[in-house]
Structure 1
Amino acid sequence: MTRLFAACVAVFISLGSDHAATTIGDPHLRPPQQPEVDYTLIDDQLIPTELLGQPVSHRQAAVTDIRTANGYWDFGVVPFHITGDFTTAERDRIAAAMTGWMSVAPVVFIERTNEVGYLDITKDAAAPGSASPCFSAVGQFRRGTRVRTNLGGTCAASLGIVYHELGHLLGLYHEQSRADRDDYVEIDLSNVQANAVGNFTKLTFPVIGAYDFESVMHYSAFAFAIDPSKPVIIPRPGYASFASLMGQRVGPSTIDLDALAFLYNGQLRASAVTRPTTAPISVFSRDEFIVAMERLNALYRSRYGLQRAAGLSINGSPDFLGIAQWIFDVYLGARSSGWSADGAFDIVTAAITRTDEWRAKNPTRTPLTPNAYQASLNFDRTEFLSVMNRLDAFYRAPEGLQRPNGLSLNGGPDFIGIATWIFDVYLAERLRGTSETAAWTLTENAIRSTDEWRRKH
């Protein structure tokens, strides 16, 4: 079993004796704490352990039911970071495979800025007892966590292998692991290497679509064979002509692409949340709003969203108006009235599909209808627009953090900084009845308490 940990320990600072009830984690030291995901390594697939054996509805290529928010990347956008020590040629192959998937599927790979939910591409050696150092998580099981694709050894020397592992990352399982695989192929386990027997585990998830011998996710006939002259995967009578096609690594098949189109295009649909799930609330977590802003950024970039290449950035600066409009006006309003985080963001998504910009860029799609809500918190969007601009200015200022790019980080908005200071401090104080002026003073004082500010002053 392989376990990935995205959790980290928060560091807290106090706002002073007069406001000791409000504490925040310094975003400049480490990311906020995130829940860990327990994965089981089956072949080269990292599958969330809690999914195994669950009697839930699954699709052919989905890690979970298409009707849930788990399993795929929000709006098909994958922030990635390459951690492994890859050669230039290997990095070029990784980029080529990403470009290949993007050219035929409704997905977008973007370089990570400081997103807490992202793909980490590593180059670790094979673990003891493992048959291969090539493996990947299947989809994104939980938002706001690090997801890993490992291309150790010579994995990145083959464009086809990179295609295959990124296919897992996007949500595709092995084709020969389908629940109905015995109708199409026979697996000769007596000819499988001892440390690779688990690679041929048959999953119980219900399937959709035809069995695809030509899938880039299918093994070759002789994969992990003890005797390389004898096939491990043998097509059933009537399918013998497909034997030589199994295991192709040229690129995704038509059915692979249909599966991803089904998975990702289906995200724009009526919300499964139809009513508020709690009483009105006035307490919110920083982590929730980081995820909400990252989801909004993905929708801005998505091929079926606003299709803005820079997402929530305009000319290198954060789109504070977009954040204020959709996160403060709509998301915060819906959450305060008792809608769940998913339900509130579905309202945001539906509202965006009714804008002129979205309609112009998606002429063949049908706009969604947002659920109605009655906000229990009434804040003017202009207040938050103003305070975000003040925060950006303080980040840049000689008396502030002296960051020349302000709240822009690596070309994208610093969502962790915005969430920490605006939500954890400023909004928390405003909800306690503190005036706008006093809430900003407390926010500024909190920043002055960080190690970064002290080092620079």
Structure 2
Amino acid sequence: MSDPQPEQIHTERACPGVAGVPDSGYVKGVYMRYMTVNSAAVFQGDIILHPEDITAEPSIAQTTGRTRLTAKWPDKIVYYAIDPALPNPTRVYAAMAHIEANTPIRFVARTTQRGYVLFRNSSGCSANVGYSGSLQYVNLGRGCTVGNAIHEIGHTIGLWHEHTRSDRDQFIRVNYDNIVPGYSYDFNTYIVQGYDGFDYGNQLDLSSIMMYGPYDFSKNGLPTITRRDGSLYTIQRNGLSPLDIATIKAMYP
């Protein structure tokens, strides 16, 4: 199985061009702010929160300690189905082949399993994060590439966006004054957000397939993220970076 070829890059969005309404709630006990877009709770642009996990108030059991928002897929197996209406399903097969070739994750067509991911058509690129134990989705619009599919499957197996690392301020600068109003919280670290994350290694990986671009959610055409020295960087959606691969291997030993 060969790696995907370089593709034109565009950063993942659940509903491109659609304005969301700021909203908030408790997701498995963690207070989170997100955007409601077309009735979906969208976090960080392309992460779809499970509606059944969102409550107006935390339960008593959720008020003590920090609750994990994601779970790993049992036995490193991701059960999947592909909606017949999804255009160009070869994108999905290529993305899965790339991940299988580089990590311990295996993709198995779903038969009767309760927990599985359905790849389906959408206006943009989005996914749920981690294993839910029930039906979950990877949404791929016509413009979503193989690289975007790899990014979304990264969320499916439990990866968050790279810029939310707890140590990110040692490596990048977030320019909050340049961010579209209502989206600043999407740029906070997972420590500030209050959910459990996972920092692999001792540095942020600008080449990670999970990295935001320098102009994401810019309100004025100026960069929202730069290197610490103020210089720009480039993102890639060609495939998992070496550190992405090492992170997944650490998550699924």
In the superposition, the TM-score normalised over structure 1's length comes to: 0.40
- The equivalences for 1:177-192 within 5 A come to 177-192=164-179
Partner of 1:124: 122
Secondary structure at 2:104's aligned position in 1?
coil
Partner of 2:33: none
Query: In the alignment, is residue 225 of structure 1 matched against residue 218 of structure 2?
Result: yes
Partner of 1:110: 108
Q: Is the CA contact (8 Å cut-off) linking 2:208 and 2:241 kept in structure 1?
A: yes
Between 104-113 and 42-51, report the one with greater CA deviation: 42-51
Deviation at 1:262, TM superposition (A): 0.8
Q: Aligned to 2:131, which of 116, 119, 140?
A: 140
- The equivalences for 1:276-355 within 5 A come to none
Query: In the alignment, is residue 173 of structure 1 matched against residue 174 of structure 2?
Result: no
Taking a change above 3 Å as real, the CA distance of residues 54 and 251 of structure 1, as seen in their structure-2 partners, is farther
Query: In the alignment, is residue 235 of structure 1 matched against residue 227 of structure 2?
Result: yes
CA–CA separation in structure 1 for the residues paired with 2:24 and 2:97 = 29
CA–CA separation in structure 1 for the residues paired with 2:207 and 2:214 = 12
Q: Is the CA contact (8 Å cut-off) linking 1:84 and 1:121 kept in structure 2?
A: no
- The equivalences for 1:15-26 within 5 A come to none
Taking a change above 3 Å as real, the CA distance of residues 215 and 55 of structure 1, as seen in their structure-2 partners, is farther
Taking a change above 3 Å as real, the CA distance of residues 260 and 219 of structure 1, as seen in their structure-2 partners, is same
CA–CA separation in structure 2 for the residues paired with 1:72 and 1:104 = 18
Letter in 2 for 1:146: L
Partner of 2:15: none
CA–CA separation in structure 2 for the residues paired with 1:259 and 1:148 = 22
Deviation at 1:215, TM superposition (A): 0.6
CA–CA separation in structure 1 for the residues paired with 2:63 and 2:246 = 26
Secondary structure at 1:219's aligned position in 2?
coil
CA–CA separation in structure 1 for the residues paired with 2:189 and 2:180 = 17
- The equivalences for 1:50-69 within 5 A come to 55-56=65-66, 64=70
Higher share of residues assigned helix: 1
CA–CA separation in structure 2 for the residues paired with 1:103 and 1:174 = 22
Letter in 2 for 1:214: S
Could you give the per-residue CA deviations for residues 311-347 of structure 1, whole angstroms, max 9, x where no partner exists?
xxxxxxxxxxxxxxxxxxxxxxxxxxxxxxxxxxxxx
Secondary structure at 2:233's aligned position in 1?
helix
Letter in 2 for 1:105: T
Letter in 2 for 1:235: R
Higher RCO (Cα < 8 Å, 6 or more apart): 2
CA–CA separation in structure 1 for the residues paired with 2:82 and 2:204 = 33
Partner of 2:141: 152
CA–CA separation in structure 2 for the residues paired with 1:181 and 1:191 = 18
Letter in 2 for 1:116: R
Letter in 2 for 1:41: V
Taking a change above 3 Å as real, the CA distance of residues 233 and 255 of structure 1, as seen in their structure-2 partners, is same
Secondary structure at 1:41's aligned position in 2?
strand
Secondary structure at 2:90's aligned position in 1?
helix
CA–CA separation in structure 2 for the residues paired with 1:220 and 1:226 = 14
Partner of 1:74: 74
Letter in 2 for 1:251: G
Taking a change above 3 Å as real, the CA distance of residues 195 and 104 of structure 1, as seen in their structure-2 partners, is same
Query: In the alignment, is residue 214 of structure 1 matched against residue 207 of structure 2?
Result: yes
Partner of 1:258: 246
Secondary structure at 1:225's aligned position in 2?
coil
In the superposition, the TM-score normalised over structure 2's length comes to: 0.69
CA RMSD for the aligned pairs? 3.0
Q: Is the CA contact (8 Å cut-off) linking 1:120 and 1:149 kept in structure 2?
A: yes
Deviation at 1:56, TM superposition (A): 3.9
Could you give the per-residue CA deviations for residues 77-134 of structure 1, whole angstroms, max 9, x where no partner exists?
11111226222xx211111011001100001112112221100112234xxxxxxx32
Structure 2: runs of 5 or more not aligned: 1-22, 26-39
Partner of 1:42: 43
Deviation at 1:195, TM superposition (A): 5.8
Higher share of residues assigned strand: 2
Partner of 2:11: none
Q: Is the CA contact (8 Å cut-off) linking 1:80 and 1:110 kept in structure 2?
A: yes
Deviation at 1:199, TM superposition (A): 3.2
Q: Is the CA contact (8 Å cut-off) linking 2:77 and 2:108 kept in structure 1?
A: yes
Taking a change above 3 Å as real, the CA distance of residues 53 and 165 of structure 1, as seen in their structure-2 partners, is farther
Q: Is the CA contact (8 Å cut-off) linking 2:80 and 2:109 kept in structure 1?
A: yes
Letter in 1 for 2:227: P
Partner of 1:317: none
Letter in 2 for 1:98: M
Q: Aligned to 1:244, which of 213, 233, 238?
A: 233
CA–CA separation in structure 2 for the residues paired with 1:110 and 1:174 = 25
Taking a change above 3 Å as real, the CA distance of residues 168 and 54 of structure 1, as seen in their structure-2 partners, is farther
Deviation at 1:187, TM superposition (A): 1.5
How many residue pairs get aligned? The number is 202
Secondary structure at 2:89's aligned position in 1?
helix
Deviation at 1:258, TM superposition (A): 0.8
Q: Is the CA contact (8 Å cut-off) linking 2:79 and 2:117 kept in structure 1?
A: yes
CA–CA separation in structure 2 for the residues paired with 1:98 and 1:136 = 15
